[in-house]
Amino acid sequence: MSSLNSSGASTPLSPSSTLLASSLSSLKSYPDVYANPHVPASTAVEFIASRADTSSTVYIYDLAEQVGFGTLTKGWADSDNAASVVPLQTRAGAGLSLVGRLSEGTSRDADKGAVITAYTTPTGLLMMAPALSYLPPATATSRLVIQVPTVILVGETFSLSPSLASLATVVPSLHHDLVLFLSATPQETVDFTHISYRLTTSHVVHLFDHYSAARETGTALVPPSPSIAPGSVADVFAQAGYSFFTYTGDTSAHTAIVLLNGPMALAAKALVGHFPGLGVVVVNVLRPWDEKALRDALPESVRTVHVLDDVPNATTQGSLYVDVFGTLLEAQNAPVVHAHRILPAQTQSYLSRHDSFLEFLGTLVPSAPASPPDSLAVKKVIVFGTPQSTLSSAPHFIADTFLSSDALSTRFVVDHDVFSRKGGITASRLLLGPKNALGAHVPIPFAIPLDHASAGDADFIAILDSGLLNTHSLVKYGKPGSVVLLASSWSAAEVTSNLPADVADFLIAHHIRLFVLDSKAAAAKLVDAVGPINDAMQNLVVHLAFLRIYLGQAAQPPLILKIARDLFDEIIHGVELSEINRHVWSALFEVVVTVRPATDGEPQPLKDFEFNAITVQTNEGDVVNGARLGSWHDAAKHLLFPTAFNPFPSFDEADTFAENPALRPEVPDRTFLVTCTVNRRLTAKEYDRNVFHLEFDTKFTGLKYSIGEALGVHGWNDEQEVLDFCQWYGVDPNRLVTIPVPSDENKMHTRTVFQALQQQIDLFGQPPKSFFTDLAAYATSSVDRHSLLFIGAPEGVATFKKLSEKDTVTFADVLRMYGSAKPGIETLCEMVGDIKPRHYSIASAQSVVGDRVDLLVVTVEWSTPSGSPRYGQCTRYLAGLRVGQKVTVSIKPSVMKLPPDNRQPLIMAGLGTGAAPFRAFLQHRAMLMERGEDVGPVYYYFGSRYQAQEYLYGEEIEAFIMDSVITRAGLAFSRDGPDKVYIQHKMLEDSEALARMMYDDKGVFYLCGPTWPVPDVYEALVGALVKYKGQSPQSAGEYLESLKEEERYVLEVY
């Protein structure tokens, strides 16, 4: 019998109560690797590979450690009988150090041999492949073994995938003396790892499924046979009970699938029995390729072979198809061989959506049934929580309930999503069934999919953080009639009011029952202490609540107590187990969900869970995914060792047009560093609007722009406001903070806190509603926490609207309002996000001004109802620019384009700073006229309040009129006369000419400025077409709408 303090995932509950993805990762001593269902196969791989009698040195590449493989080996390095460890960065030329070590070696290697092991991922193997071609011949005392956890990042969401697409380009270039094989199940992973060190005359690459199988617990691993003698690849595999190829399916099959060993192969093997006439050939050993073994594995009845090749793109030919086709080409009664190029996105779809893979198999065997029956004996459990919460150990307790059972097969795996929510989300999946019911070893992601499009499969869902209900779509993973347990302090009424409408509707439509437990309150009644004892009690409370709900009608207090006594001591922290059970029984209650009334405003869409991280913390406590606060040592490392730490391609400063990758690496667009040469105010100082003209020197930057495009300015926050905030927040502005680059998960950039808050983090921007919910998790005051949760909930829409639209609060304002909510500055940086570039229409034509770009800007200023002044972040930054100051910019395409024919008439209407793009148009037209080219008429309408104050670029406009660049100018200054005159009034004066140009001469109309004059301008054009072209108002309107498709009716309004 184990006590609460020593149960769970083989690890005592620590004061932080935080368990890693592998519960053994904090162990310094060696675990009982075999016959222990708590130990995942990946731990056994590290244990075998890190023995001093197996490897002389283990090289751990960063990519492997980032997916949770290698941390244990580093922890064991100082123990007896452990190999030495060398950490390495993955970069161009990765693998050359391994080749050099084997080629030259050391005096120690000469005495003891140099069997070296490397840990990397498929991505790392791809970068390593060119270097491996230089490997010296393998010998019994000098060879390389590469252990490759097969998991890569794919897609825009950076989801993890077991795709082997990188092998398509790696395999053809592999060294002739290199053996490559693949394992899929936990036991295969252990056995193949042992085999990799018994092949004494070959270099070896072993790829194993780290996407799920190698990380899952529940399989009591059998020790590999110690009697396997070194020999050829075929001999060693035969001694271990394996072969190059494994056939499953109809012995008289007419169709066969050939694919590499991995989770998709396991899924195919599990389904093949439901497809008469179909067989599956799984490739265990890819190199060396054994043609005879493949022909022997295929039944003679097979007439069609489908080869499933993981490839990075549709144009890449997979190496497996080439091997299979070449093998069967000369065979007697050779079958037809078809290639199927499986992209990483398809791999994701096939593994996470039953119907997708079944549909694909159905195309290969059309006569097969549409879908196989699901095993009713198998139960599926999902537990959602957060990695750092008090209840993070609860899923492990729940899994332990079944792992020790002799009557059940249990499989358990933990995944993380670190991008969709600050602090991350954990999804723990548990697959339960009678002994041997899970013998086919269907991948857990296939059995319990978490894909956004998958149908609900779970029998039981636990949500251990009520805040997740308002941010993520989680109950959809439950099948009809299933049960949801919510750990929350909410009452029944609060649950009903806080449930998003979509969640409530789903629960009702699928008849899903919702139970609620306040684990914190229940634990507080049982133990007075706070900290680890209270945390442990909360986990036990949730565990007992799970047992009561999961067992259904059979769940009676005596039965729950009997099960609990088999798992825990009778007295836990001075409280009898029966007393704890009674408290749980009374604290648990069911909520009857009713239809939610409609609320004002659009509901915030719920996010999907995306599996994008395996570990959230290493053994040393370093954050693998996310920002961190550090010292100047972080920057010093980058400066002293640039080749090891710089993730960017080399930047040649002599190449004046090359983009410097260190210039705003978080920005996906191409950026340029330009120099301010002119900052001139156009309106009088006493005038209430500051309209100013800017010029930037672009010489030697490579910046090119077209007429009508916009300049994106990456503005900075005010220096004094940032320093004031740092002082209030209690953070040293000179500390360094390392922040992930959103566009590339492998890139981090380090800068001081002050630099980050001034130049990157949108601290004085307007927070979205989700920020209030996220911030609530950090509030130490109950009042602050509940206030933030209320504002972030649907019921708080009115409060949020007032704060956002009337008070125009910033992120900094919200932090000051709820002062007890102070996440770490590194966490805050990720919560707030980056300053978005502000885009301004370019007021110059590069064909005229050359290496220069001009802007026309008006400062944005207003006051809140309380009288506090507010400023537009970027216009304030631009207004304060000094001559010679550097500014980071980017180019954004625009709809404001000149027509292809210079003879087409131009009708331009601009209000205020909306005149900017038309200045560029006029400069270009003037240049064309100077060249003697034939150009069409130009009608220019401009509106502002006072001619004396806001006739922007007035002198230039008058010159253009004098030179006939402008055919007609309609100038409307609304406050100069007794009657207010606007541009639409000036357009009415030219109705006949406008109708002719727009209808007969293919003229182009542009409007740039605020949105309010759009209806009046539209009516002026419609009226002109009705009056002078005989159209009805409806047909005139339809005509103008059709011009939008031709880019002849262009609106650039804001």
The per-residue pLDDT for 843 is 94
* Ordered structural domains, the chain, with CATH: 31-239 (3.40.50.970), 248-364 (3.40.50.920), 379-425+456-591 (3.40.920.10), 628-643+716-832 (1.20.990.10), 663-714+837-894 (2.40.30.10), 906-1053 (3.40.50.80)
Q: Does the pLDDT at position 747 exceed 70?
A: no
The per-residue pLDDT for 380 is 92
pTM of the model: 0.61
Mean pLDDT, residues 777-784 taken together = 89
Mean pLDDT, residues 1026-1037 taken together = 92
Cα gap 70→48, rounded to integer Å: 12
Q: Which token pair is 73?
A: 């080996």
Q: Which token pair is 75?
A: 């922890």
The per-residue pLDDT for 580 is 83
The per-residue pLDDT for 787 is 92
Between CA 217 and CA 220, with CA 219 as vertex, the angle to 5 degrees is 115
The per-residue pLDDT for 213 is 93
CB-count exposure of residue 343 (10 Å: 0-12, 13-18, 19+):
middle
For residue range 358-392, list pLDDT tens digits in order. 888 888 887 655 455 455 568 899 999 988 788 88
The per-residue pLDDT for 24 is 32
559 or 846, greater pLDDT: 846
440 or 717, greater pLDDT: 717
The per-residue pLDDT for 28 is 33
In this prediction, residue 667 has a pLDDT band, given cuts at 50, 70 and 90, of low
Mean pLDDT, residues 547-567 taken together = 77
Say if residues 679 and 651 touch (Cβ distance below 8 Å). Answer: no
Say if residues 216 and 413 touch (Cβ distance below 8 Å). Answer: yes
**DSSP single-letter state for residue 756:** I
The per-residue pLDDT for 899 is 92
For residue range 995-1019, list pLDDT tens digits in order. 999 999 999 999 998 888 899 999 9
Least confident interval from 229-243, 371-385, 779-793, 843-857: 371-385
In this prediction, residue 274 has a pLDDT band, given cuts at 50, 70 and 90, of confident
Q: Which of 476-480, 614-618, 633-637 has the highest mean pLDDT?
A: 476-480
Percentage of the chain exceeding pLDDT 70: 87
Strands 458-463 and 513-517, how do they pair?
unpaired
Q: Which residue is it, tokens 């196989």?
A: 372
Question: 89 phi and psi, to 5 degrees?
Answer: -95, 145
E-strand ranges in 667-789 read 672-681, 691-697, 710-713, 736-741, 744-752
Percentage of the chain exceeding pLDDT 90: 46
Q: Which token pair is 147?
A: 């252990």
For residue range 134-184, list pLDDT tens digits in order. 888 888 888 999 999 999 888 767 788 899 888 888 888 787 789 999 999
Q: Does the pLDDT at position 783 exceed 80?
A: yes
Cα gap 676→887, rounded to integer Å: 7
Q: Does the pLDDT at position 10 exceed 50?
A: no
